[in-house]
Amino acid sequence: MSITWNDNAPIYRQLRDRVVAMILDGVLKQGDALPSVRQVAADFQLNPITVSKAYQELVDEQLVEKRRGLGMYVTEGARDALMRSERERFLREEWPQLYARLKRMNLDLQTLLDSAEKPQGAQP
């Protein structure tokens, strides 16, 4: 597997975001084990410190817990917590700009909903 990292953010952050995306998408479910630091380091050709740092971030956010001698596991309620914080973040950071833009363009809710429910590629 070949992974390209972008150079705008530290790799441990990007790795953390990858795990978060996997939890949100349900690929990693609560109670699932994360692959070992060693495994991830070898698979992605990263130094183990980078991987540990990404995992530590997830532990700090209580999305993942360390079980002694066993490894890292997705915590109960991780997905719900993530959903909540992602929704809050959207409403706080993305929505105000988007809302302003929709107002400028005079797009009303019905038009937006109609457009979203149309089959892909259909012309309005």
Partner 1 sequence: MSAIVQARGLSKRYGNTVALDNVNLSIEPGRIVGLVGPNGAGKTTALKAILGLAEFQGELSVLGMDPRTHRDELMQQVCFIADVAVLPRWIRVADVVDFVGGIHPRFNRAKCQAFLARTKIAPTQRVRELSKGMIVQLHLAIVMAIDARLLVLDEPTLGLDILYRKEFYNSLLSDYFDEEKTIIVTTHQIEEVENILTDLLFIREGRIVLDATMEQISERFAEVMVNPDKADAARALKPLHERQIFGKSIFLFDGVDHGTLATLGELHKPSVADLFVATMKGTYA
Q: Does 99 bind partner 1 (CB under 8 A)?
A: no
CB 124 within 8 A of CB 115: yes
Q: Least Å distance between CB 56 and partner 1?
A: 14
- Cβ proximity to partner 1: between 39 and 111 the closer is 39
Q: Does 5 bind partner 1 (CB under 8 A)?
A: yes
Q: Does 77 bind partner 1 (CB under 8 A)?
A: no
Q: Least Å distance between CB 93 and partner 1?
A: 18
Q: Does 120 bind partner 1 (CB under 8 A)?
A: no
Q: Which 20-49 residues touch partner 1, going by CB under 8 A? A: 38-39, 41-49
Q: Which residues contact 99 (CB under 8 A, 6 or more apart)?
A: none
CA distance 56 to 101: 38
Strand pairing partners for 66? 72
CA distance 11 to 19: 12
The tally of CA atoms less than 13 A away on the side-chain side of residue 117 is 6
Residues that bind partner 1 (CB under 8 A): 5, 7-8, 10-11, 38-39, 41-50
